Structure 1
């Protein structure tokens, strides 16, 4: 019943979207949606890489150097809004 969308239904949906949001705002909305998707994809990739490379955390050694700061960018290629971030340390004791 709802799984079969033909060309007339898709055209009707697109016309309603254009009427609701206006033709001038649609490119900006699509651009921001694409930027958000790129950020989400890059963050998911970074989390996957971090989970594969991180070792189980043991108790910190007194002479051990703290981990270096990482720079997280707002979007790929955007260097104006990047900022250094301190990684949270595990303070739980067992």
Structure 2
């Protein structure tokens, strides 16, 4: 299916009639933004796939022991995770106490 100059001209004329010459730049700008967002999301999905594959390679297989990296960032992240878990436990306790107080009323 080859499009000649006449068919392309008719398509452009139909688009101009549908959208009008004033709204056409806005429509094309919106389409460009949408395509840019879509392209970024697709790249993000590919990056996630690569990270998942890398994580799968470092996951222990058949009981192998993988020593954690002695990286300062890893230690900081583990500390933050512990703090978040403690905070969540405190909040759960407070919520349980509040529920118990509501039941006794």
Whether TM exceeds 0.5 here: the answer is yes
Q: TM range, normalised to the smaller chain? A: 0.5 to 0.7
Q: Aligned residue pairs: how many? A: 59
TM-score (norm 1): 0.55
Q: Which residue of 1 aligns with 2:46?
A: 48
User: Any gaps of 5 or more consecutive residues in structure 2?
Assistant: 60-77, 83-105
Which protein is bigger by CA-based radius of gyration?
Answer: 2
Higher normalized strand content (fraction of residues): 1
Higher relative contact order structure (alpha carbons within 8 Å, sequence separation ≥ 6): 1
Q: Which residue of 1 aligns with 2:15?
A: 17
TM-score (norm 2): 0.50
Detail structure 1 runs of 4+ shifted over 6 Å in the superposition: none
The 3-state SS of whatever aligns with 2:15 is: helix
Superposition RMSD on alpha carbons, in Å? 2.1
Higher normalized helix content (fraction of residues): 2
